[in-house]
Amino acid sequence: MMQNNILKYEAVSISFAEEKAVNEVSFNLKKGEILGVVGESGSGKSTIIKSIMRILNSDGVIDSGRIIFEEDNLLDKSEKEMQGIRGAKIGMIFQDSASSLCPIRTIGDQIIEAMKAHGKADKARFKEHALTLFEKLNFKDVERIWDSYPFELSGGMNQRVGIAIAMLLNPPLLLADEPTSALDYKATNQVMDELKRLRDIYDTSIILVTHDISVVSMVADNVLVLKQGKIMEYGKVKSVLENPQNDYTKLLLSAVPERGSDGWNLSNLS
């Protein structure tokens, strides 16, 4: 693999109806790296994630650049090739997993359904595989979760299940768009622990989009600060957060809410 990079996002520009949403953005993601992407609403965070998955709607045009994933430019892939990549090679988790889970079917049934869609057919093995993953991710009471309906689980638990489901096929790259914005502080911490654990166990590379810079301080290695589609700052979390060079980054940092002793805290960054 080229210099250990799993993803190279190279000088990508994207526009909607001639309006630039992403402007010459470049970054690299190494194997096992967690990259935090922060910036105000409308700065282009979700557009970047969608461009990697190639799920921009037809109004979104990639004007220039390359998105190299494991040596291939994703922008050259056919839709059919992308269908083989989504889920299996690049996993995605959304703001609200509960809403992407079917409300009237158990978690276990949904997992079996999802794995069948990828051409595997042994129910007992799926279950064993899923429950093993749940246990590795520190879920308690894994049989109960398997038999639960989404409404029987808390929002935080649904989100953690959503992440586990995205990991069942063990994609080397996981894209998470605001995975904790609907969660309280405690559930946020649990989800962040889960992401770190994934990285530690599977060497998963993760892009974590968030409004919340304190979340970045908890888990990310590098951070990219976006404003109006342009990179304001990009580098190691510790140096960017401790010594921001850019006024916009300073502004974002000053807006960090109080989170108590184990939350936003630069001493986490050692």
**Considering only 4-12, 45-53, 76-84, 185-193, which stretch makes contact with ligand ATP by CB under 6 A?**
45-53
Query: In whole angstroms, what is the distance from residue 96 CA to residue 127 CA?
Result: 24
**Which residues does 165 contact at the CB level (< 8 Å), separation at least 6?**
97, 110, 111, 114
Residue 205 or 210: the one with the smaller Cβ distance to ligand ATP is 210
Q: Given candidates 23, 28, 43, 46, which one binds Mg ion under the rule CB under 5 A?
A: 46
Does 199 bind ligand ATP (CB under 6 A)? Our answer is: no
Residue 227 engages ligand ATP in binding (rule: CB under 6 A): no
Structure tokens at 28: 């690299």
The item of Mg ion, ligand ATP, none sharing an interface with residue 39, based on CB under 5 to 8 Å by kind, is ligand ATP
189 φ/ψ angles, rounded to the nearest 5 degrees: -60, -40
Residue tagged 């994207």 (tokens) = 14
User: Among residues 23, 28, 43, 97, which is the contact residue for ligand ATP, using CB under 6 A?
Assistant: 43
Stretch that binds ligand ATP, among 23-31, 39-47, 77-85, 247-255 (CB under 6 A): 39-47
Taking the C-alpha atoms of residue 262 and residue 267, their distance in angstroms, rounded to an integer, is 10
Among 45, 54, 160, 227, binds ligand ATP (CB under 6 A): 45
User: Count of CB atoms within 10 A of residue 78's CB?
Assistant: 9
Name the segment binding ligand ATP (CB under 6 A); options: 42-50, 118-126, 145-153, 236-244.
42-50
Give the nearest residue (CB) to Mg ion.
Answer: 46
DSSP state at residue 264: S
DSSP string of 13-49, one letter each residue:
EEEETTEEEEEEEEEEEETT-EEEEE-STTSSHHHHH
Nearest distance in Å: CB 181, ligand ATP: 9
- Which two structure tokens, joined as six digits, stand for 207? 């892009």
Find residue 207's DSSP bridge partners: 35, 175
Closest distance of CB 211 from ligand ATP, Å: 6
- Interface residue list for ligand ATP (CB under 6 A): 16, 21, 39, 41-47, 57, 59-60, 211
- Interface residue list for Mg ion (CB under 5 A): 45-46
